[in-house]
Structures are given as C-alpha cells and as structure tokens.
Structure 1
Amino acid sequence: MTLRSRILILASALAVLAAIALASVLHASARAERRDHTQAGGPRITPGTVTLTTPGRMIFRNMAWGPHRDELTTTPVSAPSGPRTASGVKCLRFYAAAGTGVCLQAVHGPVSDTYRALILDAHLKERAHYDVPGIPSRARVSPSGHYAAWTAFVGGDSYAGTNFSTRTAIVDTRTGALTPSLEEFRIVKDGRTYHAADVNFWGVTFASDDTTFYATLATKGSTYLIRGNLRTRTVTTLHPNVECPSLSPDGTRIAYKKRVKGLPKDAPWRLYVLNLKTMRETPLAEPRSVDDQAVWKDTHTVVYALPGDYGADLYEVPANGSGVPHRLLTSGVSAAFLK
C-alpha cells in the first residue's frame, strides 16, 4: 500500500468520525430542545387541530423552545397556562377575527430572509399571500374579517428612536384589493390637507363598520392618533402622542402606548386608555415600558407582551387604571381572543 493510499484512508476515516460526532451532537441538541420547557415546568405542547372559530379560546405565537417554537398555539381563555395545542403554522405576528387570520411570516432564503403576509381561513389554510417589504411589526383583522392590515419596518427595527420608517398596508380579504401603503391616503391635520416627506403610519386597528380604522401617524418628531376612512381614503388626526392604538370591543376607547417624559430613550412608553368621546386619558397600572400593540381580552381587560425568558410573556391589566398587572402566560406573544 502506497503512502498516498494510507493518507486517503486515514482522511476518510477521520471524516467519518467527524460526521458521527456531529450527528451525535445534533441529535443530543434536538433531544434537549424537545425536552426543554416541559421538563423544566413549562407548558406542555402537543400538535393538533387549531381553528379560528372556537369561542372561548386564545391563539398566540408560541415562544417556548422546542419543536413548536413560533407556531400558532391555542389554549382556553379560562386556562391560559394549561396545555397548548400547536397548529404547525409559524408566524412572527398574528391576529384573527370572524374566522379570518393574518400571519406575517419569514421566508428563509440562501442569502437573507424575505417576508410575506398570509391571509388564513378558519382552518389556518392560506387564502392569499402578499409580499411584505421589511421586518413585520404589527398585524390586525377587522371585527368582520373583511379587512386585514400589517406594518413592517422598511428602515430601522425599533420604534424607540427616530431613525426608522414603516410601511402599513390594508387588504380587502374578500376581493384581494390591496392598499400597499397608507401614505396613499389624504391626510387632514388641524383641519387642513397635510403633506410631508417624513410621514409614517403604523398599528392599524379596525372599527366594526368596515369603514373606520385608527392608526398612528408620525411626522416632524411627533405622533398622532388618526381616524381613517376606507371609502374616502382619508385620515384625520385626533389626539397627540398615541402609538399602536387598539380599539375596544365596544368601539368607545383606545388602548395605546404613550411616550412619557423622563423615561429612558430605549424604554419610553407607558400604557394608557383614551376615551374617544371625551378624549380623557387614563394611565393603566402597568409600571413597565410596553412596546406592543395591546389587545382587548374583553371590554374590561387589556393584554400585552413584555420581555421574558423565552422572548416574551403575555400580561393583562384592567382597562380603567385600577388593579395590578398579572402575567397571563409565559413564552407567548401576538394573541387573539376568539369570540
């Protein structure tokens, strides 16, 4: 046997041993990942059927490590910390109403990720999809299920500073007609048509009439609550210093995050509720900075995400400013409550 042959045999043997070692490490890592949370006292998660038409349940993005991380999962509203049923559908942001869901997904490519918005039916099957021009941030569906909206960062990746830009789209889920950017709408500010190159919109929330919506408008370093009209394609400023609005089920109040002077630049917000009739603001009893578009669990309770050990946990607090925050569940984000 020649020296070259011996070297080739040795190299082949080393390659085989390296492959075996790598496979063992990956197998052990996968087993550890599957064990994670369940053996540590976390939620028990099993695959199953998830639909958008089962009253009394909540659906959210599962953040617990393991084979079902990032999947839409469901639990009863009455037992949110109990076992979870995983759908197999992965979303970065999600919302649902009236049997229609919107799921913002990452599409992993060989060089970089792209993003898309899926419109889902009641069984989480794709009805349509649309390109999303940046990192997904917010998602909503109208109470009727007839409209969906989403916001993405197209420059920057945080609302905390001023160096970012967003794109907010609205789609008619019945016809597929897409408004790719709310910047196409006419802006009425202080009673006059307003134009500015730095306009940004984010955080749509819909009223029940399939015409009215609310969102945040940012321009010249300030933010405003705007009321939009889908028929006239106009938006009108209503109230300053409002971000990520969420309309209450009865249509009378807006939950939102507000920048408060004196707080750190990277954590500048507190949760408030605005009465749309009186424009009176009520600070909620959450003392921490909340960077989320809250959802209404019911007419009395607001739910939102805060950082947790596995990315985020969901908390709830009374909408009238009383009480104290309560952790609803661990390792979850982007919740929708099915009626």
Structure 2
Amino acid sequence: MKENTNITNSSVSFLQSGAWEELQRRLGRKTIRCQTPGLSGFGILVNARFGNHYAYFPHGPSGVWSAENINEFVEKTREAAGDAKPFFLRVEPFVKDSEELSDTLKRAGFIKARANQPEETFIIDLTKHKEEILSGTEHDTRYSIRAAEKRGVVIEKTEGNSRADKFEIFWKMFEKTNERHNLSSYGKEYYRRVFFLDGDASSKTFFAYLDGEPIACATTVFFGNQAAYLYAASMDGFGKYNAPTLLIWNALLDAKENGCVSFDLWGVSSTNKKWSGVTAFKKGFGGRSVRRAGTWDIIFNNIKYQTYLLAKKIL
C-alpha cells in the first residue's frame, strides 16, 4: 500500500499547550519535550510502578505523520527520556482517523491501544452566525435553552480572579454528581489545577443559578482559536430546569464572542451504551461528527508491557 506522507495536524490540542504541561509538572509528574523537523510535542513520563515508566504524549505529538518522521520521533523520545528508559511510548495523533495513518503507524511498529482520550466527538463551527448555530441544534435542545431561560435559570461566567471563591462550589457539585452516577475521577487537586488554568491555555467555568443558588456548572478550556467543553456537574432534583443545556449554549456563545472558530464537545461514543445519554445530549447541539486516530503504543520491553496490561486489568 502506498505510504501517505501528508497526514498533518490541522490544529493542536490544548493537551499539548505549555499551560497543560505546567499543570502536569505541578501535579508532580515529570515531562519531556521532544522536537524533530517533522513532529514535536511534550510527553509525560508516567510512573507504572516498580520504578518503570512509559512516555505518553496526550493528543500529540503534532506535525506530519510520515513513517520517516515517526521513526525519528521515537528515537528522539527515547533519548529525551534518558535514565527513565520507558518500556513503551504512547502517542495520540490529533488528526482524523484514517486507514492511511493506521497503516503508517503499524509500519513504524505501533499497535492500537485502548483509548486514553475519547476518540469520537462533535465539533461545532463557530464561524457561523448565532442564528445558524441555533437552527443547527435539534428541536429538543432549542426547547431546553428557551425553557431554562423562562424558568429563571441565570448563567454566570467565572474566569481570572473571579474564580477565587468558586472552586469549592464546583467541587461540591462535582462530587455529588460522581456519587449519583457512580463515576470515577481524578483527585481534587487535578480539578483545582484545571479550574484555575491560565497561560497559553486557560479555563472558564460557567455556573447556572436558580433563585441565587448554584444548580449546575460546566468547565471549558480555551487554546488558540479553539474551545473545548471538558466536564460538567449538577445538583440532584433540578432536571426540569434544563440548566446543563443552557450552560453549554452560553459557553459556546462565549467562545464565539472571544474569537474561537470551533467548540469541541469532547467525548461521545457511537458504540458504548453507557455513553448513550451523554452522546444524545451532545448530539443535540449539532456539530460535525469527528473520529480521531486514537491511542497507539510502540513497545520497547514486551515483558514489562504485558505485565503492565495485566496489572491494569486486575487493579
């Protein structure tokens, strides 16, 4: 099969921003930078127990995904990792999934792995007029936006210094949401760091209030001319007020007003039934369905790699 040497990132994910790299460092994780003429990005040296590490490039690296560039990047990464000596390298090309890219990665020695980041998403085109974006939503979504406004839901945006006294409000709702739906999550400090993210990538959290009381919230991250909706939380018993729908509508309008050209709804699934509710909710906002290339590993020590996979299943 003919090699495709022109699979190139059309954009770079906020997961490859300097601010996100700094967030990882502040969480105590060691990062590395690897730059070659064809591909570049930052990676995390993940501690996989017993002194073993692997190198993970979240939504990266970025550049031109040719076999030659990939091979060179692999070697440079092993050099950059130094004494950590990763037993495998994990990459996540921030490009559309394609047979050509899969073939190129396989020829370079990579295997498809279980996804670290969601492979499917909906992306809303913010270059359209507000009315056109609204008309592209489903009927139920438009109804929910209007109903929330009529029922007295008020949206407040927090960013910069205005976030100082709001994190604990977010965290209370987030914990309750996870308990209610039996969801796992990172530790509190991770979400604190994302809540206050600043630099070349920054976050905003939108709160929905009813009669002055917070009932829902949603966090978005801005990087360049892109915005991404990361996660949300809500209080139980307020479903009829449609606050989550109004939150996302306000978040994407805010992104548009601030010069963003796209709004990434960040994670849906056409196959996982557990995600069916979330997928249907996000689909209601319209947008273009996108499947990204996913997660790929190249193994340097197969015994350690198989032990790692087994441990992941058990623990």
* TM-score for both structures, normalised by structure 2: 0.30
* TM-score for both structures, normalised by structure 1: 0.29
- In terms of fraction of residues, the more helix-rich structure is 2
RCO greater where, 1 or 2, for CA within 8 Å and sep 6 or more? 2
Q: Name which one, 1 or 2, has greater alpha-carbon Rg.
A: 1
- In terms of fraction of residues, the more strand-rich structure is 1
